[in-house]
Amino acid sequence: GAGVSQSPSNKVTEKGKDVELRCDPISGHTALYWYRQSLGQGLEFLIYFQGNSAPDKSGLPSDRFSAERTGGSVSTLTIQRTQQEDSAVYLCASSRGTVNTEAFFGQGTRLTVV
């Protein structure tokens, strides 16, 4: 596909369950970002992958959150033991990774924890 693809687009889960959110970046993009956007809020940085370097995990809010990027392409954000405050839109973006090219965003995954 031409753009960043995220799945699922919507996810409703029960409190305490684990969820996995998937991001397919644009082919050839070495940088991949995850952000969280709560209602009426800006984009909260979660994690950043750049090529083969160690990811910048400084934005992950707790150890219930983790992310991996396999083969430098697809990324999965996992939230364990979900809480109601995890409800938000999770946005993924990718870029060519050179200083500072445009980051292209996916449509996001709307997560609702009930």
Nearer to another protein, 35 or 65 (CB): 35
Helices (H), 15-68: none
Report the interface residues with another protein, using CB under 8 A.
Answer: 4, 31, 33, 35, 40-43, 45, 48, 50, 53, 56, 91, 93, 99-100, 102-108
Q: Distance between CA 92 and CA 33 in Å, rounded?
A: 6
Q: How far is the CB of 82 from another protein (least distance, A)?
A: 22
Residue closer to another protein, measured from CB, 53 or 112: 53
Question: From CA 1, how far away is CA 68, in angstroms rounded?
Answer: 21
